[in-house]
Structures are given as structure tokens and as C-alpha cells.
Chain A
Amino acid sequence: MTPWMLVPRDHSSRAWVWLSPVVAIVLTLLAGSALFAAMGTNPLQGLNVFVVAPLSSVRGWSELLLKATPLVLCGVGLAVCFRANVWNIGAEGQLIAGAIVGGGIALLATADSPRAWYVLVLLASAVGGALWASITAWLRDRFNANEILVSLMLVYVAQQLISWLVQDPWRDPNGYGFPQSELFAAAARIPLILEGTRVNAGSVLALVAAGAIWLLLARTVLGFQLKVVGLAPIAARYAGFSQRRSLWTALLISGALAGLAGGLEVAGPIGQLTSTISPGYGFAAIIVALVGRLHSVGIVLASLVMALFYIGGDLAQSRLGLPSALTGVYQGLLLFFLLACDTLIKYRLRLRRTAPI
């Protein structure tokens, strides 16, 4: 017998829907401080490096935007999937597939290519991501195969594929044998928008995508159908909303957005194809989507927090000599705390009376 019990609320608490992520972030930082203390670092100093230092310079903010961009793109795409009750957890694979197809187009560019070549690269990467996601959609639609397992298995396949490409057919002949492609020609690179930083047009694109997804989900019939299929499949069938269409729409949209994120990474800050193009953005985006309440505004904010964890992890390594793997621990903790706090949306916590009534 636990000393407390969960009592169902009559109505879901609107307040806790938005309070829960805030409380979860605070709890994550507290647990993080405890972790710092356990490793013999002053927790205040640790938090300072992890959370405050990245935000105290223009460079820090620009890196934050840069890292948040793929998270926003993958995150809003996953929000569409999760709203439609499609458990796509393979955004990482779709991101890599987008990078492969976009990168292939980028490698075709030469010094004489028109400046707009990068538009072609981005379009190709979106198509690549959507195609990769369509495998999951097709297997679910045609064979009823579980989309969680299929989309995840495809992540490993995509990782092997890019590793093979940069080691064999696309390897830079002058790259001293390193598994990487040639550097892309200037025309294939995404234009920078802030002088002296690495922030590029992709950040604007991510905001536009977040806005578009908000419009889709909140203001269109298609979005409404997606949500009904996700929340109440039987009601949706009764209303004549197609479950198949919603499956395909959700996966193609999220695949295209994840692919776009991959294209932006390789044609943006990386500038070539390598075997390690993403530090798990596609997986972190799952946490981002849930912390952001599957809502575009929330996802943009959550992406910034998650990007902070990435930069904080790097800084913790360079300044405090702590492992940058801390980022992964923080991410996992955040999702745990969020899920725990989310219980309070539907349930009230009540202490058990010690004496029998």
C-alpha cells in the first residue's frame, strides 16, 4: 500500500497540461545538480556552465538556434504523427535518408552551378525523408506491421547506408581515407543569415514549418480528421474519415520534415556527408514533441531547451572536464519527469488516511 492514491479527475486539468513540462524541466535541473554534486563538481558551477553560460554570448545564442532547428523540424513532424496516433519513432532514420538524398544532389553541384542550387538540395532531402517514412507507412498499411519497430529498424539501416556511402562510392579521394564525402560546392550550401555566426536560412524555414503545422492541425479539415482518427478511431470511422489516409499523411509529412532537417544539417553547418551527421536529433525530437505538448509553440520552446542541453553537454566537457554524454542522461531524465507530472493531468494525488473510515 502506497501512502498515497491516484483519484481520477472529472475533467482533465488544463492547467497541468502546460504546468507539467515546466515542473519537469525544473525537476530535471534539480536532479542534474545532484548529478554534478555526485561527480564532485559544485552544482551551482555545473548549472552555470550547463544552462547560463551558453546564453551569455551572441555566439551561444546563434549555436542554440542552429541546434534547435533540426529539433523543431523533426518535433513538429512527430507531433502530427502522435496526434494521429501513429508511433513514428524513426525520425532519426528519416533525417539520415534526407541527408543522403540531399547530399547526393549537393555533390553534383560545381563551382559554376547557379546559387539557387541549395533549394534543389533541400527539396531532394525532403523527398528522401518522405520516401524513407513511406516504407513504414506501406508496411503498416499493407501488412499491418508495427510502425514502432519498423521505423526504428529503419534507423539502423539508414545509419549503415550512409556509413557505406561515405566509405565507398562517395568517399572523398583526397580525404586521406577518412569516411567522408568531398566538401559541397558553395552553391549547394545554405545561405547564412547572421554575419559572423553559423545561423542559416534553415532556422527561418523551421519557424515557417512550425507555423504551417499549427495551421494544419488547428485550422484545416485534414488536421481535424487526423486528430479525430488519433483520439477516437471508431468515431472517425463512423464519420467516414479514412484511417489509411491519416496514416500516410502523418508519416509523409513527418518524414519530409525530418528529411529537410537532415538536408539542412549536411548543407549547413557540416558542409559534407559523414557517417555521424546527427547526435540523435531524431530521438531527442520525440522528447521535444512530448514536452512541447504536440503544439507548435510548445515544440519551438522545448527545442530551445533541448538545444541548450546539447550545448551545455559540450561546454561541460570543455570547461569542467565532464563527459558530454551527460546530455543523454539529462534528456532521459526530462522525459521521465514529464511523464510522471503528466499523471496529474488526469488524476489527483490524495494521501491515504491512516485510520480506517
Chain B
Amino acid sequence: MDALASLIAITMNAGTPLLLAAIGVVVNERSGVVNLGTEGMMLVAAVVGFTVTLASGQYWLGFVAGAFAGMLMALLFAALAIGLLTNQFATGLALSLFGAGLSAFIGLALQAETLPMRAADGVPGLRDIPFLGPALFAHHWVVYLSLAMTAGVAWFLFRTRGGLVLRAVGESPECAHALGHPVRRVRCAALAFGGACAGLAGAYLSTIYTPLWSEGMVAGRGWIALALVTFATWRPGRALFGAYLFGGVAMLQLYLQGEGVEIATQWLAMTPYVATIVVLALISRNPRWIRLNMPASLGKPFSPNA
């Protein structure tokens, strides 16, 4: 029973950064913008979050700083892709390459640093319940924040007027513009939110999950989050399912190693990437189904003057 509880806990822990990043991507893409820069935003946020936590000794400050750094990166993307109408795929790629370089540059002095101790995680009272406590209620508060954000984003997208406007901008920016909605401002806001989410995800990785800084430590999780959103057909609830599914893959790695299975670490480290490819292939097999769910104007630049 204790083993099962810890497996559930590991799954949630590993799934949280993916979930946070994926929620941001859902909001981005629902507004019709593809930002392939998630990996770069997470890397910069990871190093900034780590630095601030280290300097201040306050974990929450690290998260705020990480979210802020992710948002700044996203606004850089917005300036180019929304302001100057650059190709979104190339710009996102540029953001990822730039983020990788910048984070390596900032983080050089942090390679050997370790963070201060933090108070016990989890919900006081609830975390002492046998089985359920260690499985569900002994996590860092950001894990619960990510769950609340999933619900919040789902509610916003499908139950509020603002969400309707956001989706309209993603489906048909021309119509939304004709109705008087500020298409570019909505897209910038969606990008900023997406950047903040990627920032929280990056800060979680470097301050809670690992917790240390090493170059390139995000290790493709930003790209996996992008794939997850296709898998989730742009729905927050399904993104939660997908993120924990991939968290489960990480859990499997640790489990197999713990059981002493004779397998090289490199083969285990490959599994999330191979799993992503397999899932992507299975989910994309039916192009009509993807087209049906995908925001209709995804990746197309919009200019009110054109």
C-alpha cells in the first residue's frame, strides 16, 4: 500500500510541470497562436526561479519571478509574431533557441548550488491520513495550484464571456475583429498567460522537482507539453489526464530502477520521448478528427490593416 501511495505521488509530482505548461499552451492555441517557445520559456524561468529562491530563501518568490520571466519571454514572442506579423513557427523556434542560450549563460554560476530546506509540503491534517495522505495530500502547494488552474481555465474557456471571445479570436479573427473585439490584444494576453504558466512549470522543475539547476534541465518537457495539447484536443481536462499519463512514464522509470531491473538508464530516459512520438502518431491518425477540434485559425497571423 505504501508503495502504491508513493507511485501515485511520483506520478503527480512528475506530471505537474507538464500540466502547468500544457494549460498555458491550451490558452495560447485557443486564441489561434502557436508558440513553439515553451521549452525556452521554461528554461529561462527555471534558472530565474532558482536564482531568486536561492537569493531570497523564499520559494514563493522564486515562483513569482519564474512566472514573470516566462511572461517576459512570451511578450518578446508577441512583439514579433503579433506586432510584426512574423512567422509563428520560426519565431517560437527562435524563442526556444534563445531561451536555451540565455539560460545556460545566466545559470553558469549556479551549477553546484543547492537550495535551502523548506517546510514540510502538503495539507496539514490531511497529509497524515493513511494511504491517501502520502499519495495525494503531501505535495508542494503548486501541485494543487496547477489543479485549480486546470479547473479555472476550463471554466473560463467554456463558461465565460471572455472565454468565448478568446475562442472566437482563435477560430476566426476576422469575424472577431468585425464584431469589435481587440484581436491582437486578446492574443497578447493569452500569450502572456501561457508564458506565466510555462514559467511556473520551469520554476517547479528547478526548485521542487529536481531541485537543482543544470544546463538544458527541462529536457524537452516543453515540447512534450506541446504534443500533449494536440493529444488533449485543446481541452484542459484532457490535458490533465495526458500530463499525469506522462508523469506515470516517469514513475515507471523510477519503479523499474528501484526493482533492480537490469536496464541502462539511457533506455529508460528515452521512454518519455518515444512515448510522445507513439501517442502523437496514434492521435494524428485521423486528420479529420484533429481538424474538427483544432482552433481554425491556429498559426495564421492576423493584421487588422491587411
Interface residues, chain A, CB within 8 Å of chain B?
A: 2, 5-8, 87, 89, 139, 142-146, 148-150, 152-154, 156-157, 160-161, 163-164, 167-168, 283, 286-287, 290, 323, 325-333, 335-336, 339-340, 342-343, 346-347
Shortest CB-to-CB span from A278 to chain B, Å, is 13
Task: Give complex CA distance A148, B92 in Å.
Answer: 12
**How many angstroms from the CA of A343 to the CA of B86 in the assembled complex?**
6
What mask results when residues 77 to 102 of chain B are scored 1 for a CB within 8 Å of chain A, else 0?
A: 00010011111011101110111111
Q: Is B269 part of the binding interface, using a Cβ–Cβ cutoff of 8 Å?
A: yes
- Chain A nearest Cβ from B9, distance in angstroms: 26
Contact of A323 with B97 in the complex, beta carbons under 8 Å: no
Binding site for A on B (CB under 8 A): 36, 76, 80, 83-87, 89-91, 93-95, 97-102, 104-105, 108, 215, 219-220, 223-224, 226-227, 230, 264, 266-267, 269-270, 273-274, 276-277, 280-282, 284-285, 287, 290, 303, 305-306
Q: Is the CB of A148 within 8 A of B284?
A: no
Q: Which of B85, B97, B284 contacts A283 (CB 8 A)?
A: B97
Contacts of B273 in A (CB 8 A): 153-154, 156-157, 160
CB-CB nearest 4 A-B residue pairs? A328-B101, A332-B98, A164-B266, A325-B104
Q: Which residues of B contact A329 (CB under 8 A)?
A: 98, 101-102, 105
User: Quick one: given A5-B305, A161-B270, are A343 and B108 in contact (CB under 8 Å)?
Assistant: no
Known: A149-B227, A323-B108, A327-B101. A143 touches B269 (CB 8 A): no
| Contact of B276 (CB < 8 Å), options: A149, A168, A325, A343 | A149
* Chain B residues whose CB sits within 8 angstroms of the CB of A340 once the complex forms: 80, 84, 86
Residues A6 and B108 in contact in the complex (CB < 8 Å), given A160-B266, A160-B267, A329-B98:
no
Distance of A274 from chain B, by nearest CB (Å): 14
Which of A6, A148, A152, A167 has the most B CB atoms < 10 Å from its CB? A152
Using A153-B223, A156-B220, A156-B270 as known contacts, say yes or no to A339 and B91 having CB atoms under 8 A apart.
yes
Q: Are A331 and B97 in contact (CB under 8 A)?
A: yes
Q: Give the total number of A-B pairs whose CB atoms are below 8 A apart.
A: 142
Q: Which residues of B contact A339 (CB under 8 A)?
A: 80, 84, 86-87, 90-91, 94
Which residues of chain B have C-beta atoms less than 8 A from A286's C-beta?
A: 93, 97
**Given A5-B305, A332-B98, A339-B90: A143 touches B284 (CB 8 Å cut-off):** yes
Cross-chain contact B266 with A2 (CB below 8 angstroms): no
CB-based nearest A residue for B282 = A143
Q: Judging by beta carbons under 8 Å apart, are A145 and B264 in contact?
A: no
**Given A6-B303, A328-B102, A332-B101: A152 in contact with B220 (beta carbons within 8 A):** yes
**Closest A residue by C-beta to B36:** A148
Closest to B285 in A: A143
Query: When chains A and B are docked, how far (Å) is the Cα of A329 from the Cα of B91?
Result: 15
Q: In the bound complex, do residue A323 and residue B220 qualify as a contact, i.e. CB atoms below 8 Å apart? A: no
* A327 proximity list for chain B (CB < 8 A): 101
Task: Determine the residue in chain A with the shortest Cβ distance to B306.
Answer: A8
Provide a sorted-by-A list of 13 A–B residue pairs whose CB atoms are within 8 angstroms: A6-B84, A149-B280, A154-B273, A156-B219, A156-B270, A157-B274, A164-B264, A323-B105, A323-B108, A328-B101, A331-B98, A332-B97, A339-B91
Q: Chain A residues with Cβ under 8 A from B86's Cβ?
A: 339-340, 342-343
Looking across the interface, which residue of chain B has its beta carbon closest to that of A333?
A: B98
Q: Which chain B residues lie closer than 8 Å to A325 at the CB level?
A: 101, 104-105, 108, 215
